[in-house]
A and B are shown apart, each in its own frame.
Chain A
Amino acid sequence: MKISNYKRFFYLILIYGFLVLVSIVIIYPFLWMLIASLKLSDRAMFNKSIFEIFKFKDIGFGNYSALVGLSSPPLLIMALNSIVTAVVSTLINIVVCFFAAYMLAKHKVVGGKYLFFFFISTMIIPQEVVAVPLYLVLISLGLINSYQGIILSLSAESLSIIILYRFFKEIPNEIIEASYIDGASELNLIFKIIFPLSWPAVMGAILIQFITSWNAFIIPLITAIDENLYTLQIGMSYFSNTLFIDFRSIMALGSIITIPIILIYVLTQKRVIKGITAGSIKE
């Protein structure tokens, strides 16, 4: 008994040591970015010591105010573009996916199996692969260089359908049948019963679609030609290739992009994790 206790203790130390080391490797870049964004001089960043940057000196919001002062493209416009494209594409995605997933999961739709397969199969061709022809499609639809082009392209993500479909499959059919007998119409049933019931899954889908749209890079990259359509992501890449802005300000922009997402993730991690792995983990 005693020997096995020692053994357990030894294993635990080994495992905790390893996990803490990995945790540091995961967190360090984010922490470094945040501190670099608050440094007022380059001294700490070019220092040959890893810990130099953690010394509390030359700290301030100067890099952030330098960002606000930029005129082409202005930070405020990019932030608004990011928020508008992410929010609207999430709304469109959730609404269309909600109805489609509900119908496919709860009603005997002719060819429903094939339709569901079609929606899932769009996942195997990611947007990075489809970007070039998407650009040409957007040109032929007159949607290039427009909010509509960015928003509609971003809203075609089928993970929401999978998340909602799996949830609807678990709702007992009796609930639906009972409300039919009570004479409820299809829309009534959806809004009064199905939607409130499925709120946790809808919330999960909303969070994931928002994160995906917020982080989107290639779609705004090909669609936004005019600087006034740049999102924060495109702005970050654009600034990193110019000389008139220093690296600390780029890290400030990186923090502006990352902090909201990390806050959302920390507050809702269980839902986000469950949703993102909906297509790959069975429960």
Chain B
Amino acid sequence: MFGSNIKKKKIKTQSIYFLFIVPALIIFIIFRAWPIIYSFILSFFDVNIISGNTFIGLKNYISLIHDQTYIKSLLVTIRFTSIILPLTIIWSLFVSIFLDYKFLRYPNFFKSLFFMPFVTSWVVISLIWKWFLNSKFGLVNQIFSILHLPEQNWLTNPKVTLWAVIVITIWKMGGYFILIFLANLQIIDPSLYEAAEVDGANFWNKFRYITLNALKPAFYITLITGTIFYFRTFVIIFAMTGGDPLGTTDLLAYHTYQLAFRSFEFGQASASIVFMFAIIVVVLLLQIAFFERKD
């Protein structure tokens, strides 16, 4: 009797707790989780918004694999990510080490300033840089000519446009990763360096065995959040390059959007999202497995 009362009370308190969580749960399920599940379902259908959907099995996946532009977009995305992630790490490591120099004054001023582009709008940034990249009167070519570097057709030369996208993306997102590296540098115990100096360690040894070792969590977080951040690169492509020239900046997020809203292939776009979802999850799991193994 007594026991069942406790049980009843427990159920009552649990349902009160749950009541507080339900609003968030509903919003996140409908607007975040359900679209993923829905695209998994729709990937097996020929989606027609007006006349209804027909089940076509794996046809969407097969057409995607046989679609040269899709394979190209996949390769471009792999190329983009595998260039930008290491560059992001090198850049933020470099800057954060400078910001951590113990005699430097106002490091927080620089830190806040470098983070500023992160909170501003991607559309605005993309359109400013589009003007800067103009081959005739753009700022970038003006600086190149001052430095006696060869001027480029930044938005039409297939060899350079992706690099422009990469540099602008790091310009905008870099501050975030600098913060992560700096936070991890600042918690290193200075006595470690002093002890190493007593043992006669040179700069390189200190960097290699103390700094890099302490930055392991920063590398870990940068790879994971970087993968997620860079996978969503869309607006700069939409507003600046349009995937051109010759599809060399046609990243998956943009290509999928075009599949849906330009070609109206919602089924194939859904299949593409399933691919992307699988790629993100696999890459994240690989990174987690790699770092957990080392620790």
Can you report 29 A-B residue pairs in the complex whose CB atoms are below 8 A from each other? A8-B103, A11-B101, A16-B104, A19-B99, A19-B110, A29-B128, A29-B129, A30-B120, A50-B143, A96-B23, A96-B27, A99-B20, A100-B25, A124-B280, A125-B36, A126-B228, A129-B231, A130-B273, A132-B39, A134-B35, A136-B266, A139-B49, A155-B27, A156-B27, A237-B239, A251-B128, A258-B124, A277-B176, A280-B221
| Cβ contact of B277, chosen from A27, A46, A125, cutoff 8 A | A125
B164 at the interface (CB under 8 A from A): no
Minimum Cβ distance to chain B for residue A260 (Å): 11
Q: Tell me whether B253 and A48 are in contact (CB under 8 A).
A: no
By beta carbon, the residue of chain A nearest B239 is: A237
In the complex, A265→B110 CA distance in Å?
14
Minimum Cβ distance to chain A for residue B261 (Å): 8
B248 at the interface (CB under 8 A from A): no
In the complex, chain A residues whose CB is within 8 Å of the CB of B280: 124-125, 129
Interface size band for B: 35 or more
In the complex, chain B residues whose CB is within 8 Å of the CB of A115: 21, 25
Binds B, one of A61-69, A73-81, A168-176, A210-218: A210-218
Q: Tell me whether A12 and B103 are in contact (CB under 8 A).
A: yes
In the complex, chain B residues whose CB is within 8 Å of the CB of A133: 35-36, 38-39, 42, 270, 273
A47 at the interface (CB under 8 A from B): yes
Minimum Cβ distance to chain B for residue A207 (Å): 9
Interface size band for A: 35 or more
Minimum Cβ distance to chain A for residue B227 (Å): 9
The B-contacting residues of A in range 116-157, CB under 8 angstroms, are 118-119, 122-137, 139, 141, 152-153, 155-156
Per-residue interface assignment for chain B, residues 118 to 133, with 1 indicating a CB less than 8 Å from any chain A CB and 0 otherwise = 1111111101110110
| Cβ contact of B30, chosen from A26, A131, A137, cutoff 8 A | A137
In the complex, A32→B130 CA distance in Å?
13
Find the residue from A18, A25, A240, A247 having the highest chain B CB count within 10 A.
A240
New A-B pairs, 6, CB < 8 Å, besides A29-B132, A92-B27, A95-B23? A12-B103, A26-B116, A129-B276, A132-B257, A132-B266, A136-B38
In the complex, chain B residues whose CB is within 8 Å of the CB of A124: 228, 280-281, 284
In the complex, A124→B143 CA distance in Å?
38
In the complex, A273→B108 CA distance in Å?
11
In the complex, chain B residues whose CB is within 8 Å of the CB of A1: none
How many interface contacts (CB-CB < 8 Å) are there between A and B? 236
| Cβ contact of A26, chosen from B34, B132, B171, cutoff 8 A | B171
In the complex, A153→B30 CA distance in Å?
9
The B-contacting residues of A in range 239-283, CB under 8 angstroms, are 240, 247, 250-251, 254, 257-258, 261-262, 265, 269, 272-273, 276-277, 279-282
Find the residue from B101, B111, B259 having the highest chain A CB count within 10 A.
B101
In the complex, A233→B235 CA distance in Å?
11
Residues of B within 8 A of A (CB): 14, 16-18, 20-21, 23-25, 27-28, 30-36, 38-39, 42, 47, 49, 95, 98-99, 101, 103-104, 110-125, 127-129, 131-132, 137, 139, 142-143, 146, 171, 176, 179-180, 183-184, 217, 221, 225, 228, 231-235, 238-239, 253, 256-257, 259-261, 266, 269-270, 273, 276-277, 280-281, 284
A72 at the interface (CB under 8 A from B): no
Q: Tell me whether B277 and A22 are in contact (CB under 8 A).
A: no
In the complex, A108→B221 CA distance in Å?
29
A87 at the interface (CB under 8 A from B): no
Minimum Cβ distance to chain A for residue B2 (Å): 21
By beta carbon, the residue of chain B nearest A122 is: B32
A59 at the interface (CB under 8 A from B): no
In the complex, A263→B151 CA distance in Å?
36
| Cβ contact of B270, chosen from A95, A104, A125, A132, cutoff 8 A | A132
In the complex, A123→B227 CA distance in Å?
12
Minimum Cβ distance to chain B for residue A11 (Å): 7
What are the 3 closest A-B residue pairs judged by CB atoms, nearest first? A100-B24, A133-B35, A133-B39
| Cβ contact of B120, chosen from A107, A109, A125, A215, cutoff 8 A | A215
Q: Tell me whether B27 and A273 are in contact (CB under 8 A).
A: no
In the complex, chain B residues whose CB is within 8 Å of the CB of A202: none
In the complex, chain B residues whose CB is within 8 Å of the CB of A217: 121-123, 234-235, 238
Q: Tell me whether A135 and B113 are in contact (CB under 8 A).
A: no
Q: Tell me whether B120 and A261 are in contact (CB under 8 A).
A: yes
By beta carbon, the residue of chain B nearest A50 is: B142
By beta carbon, the residue of chain B nearest A14 is: B98
In the complex, chain A residues whose CB is within 8 Å of the CB of B260: 132, 135
In the complex, chain A residues whose CB is within 8 Å of the CB of B25: 100, 115
- With A96-B27, A152-B27, A215-B122 known as contacts, the answer to whether A186 contacts B16 (CB < 8 A) is yes
By beta carbon, the residue of chain A nearest B277 is: A125
Q: Tell me whether A265 and B119 are in contact (CB under 8 A).
A: yes
Q: Tell me whether A109 and B47 are in contact (CB under 8 A).
A: no
In the complex, A109→B280 CA distance in Å?
30
Q: Tell me whether A240 and B127 are in contact (CB under 8 A).
A: yes
A49 at the interface (CB under 8 A from B): yes
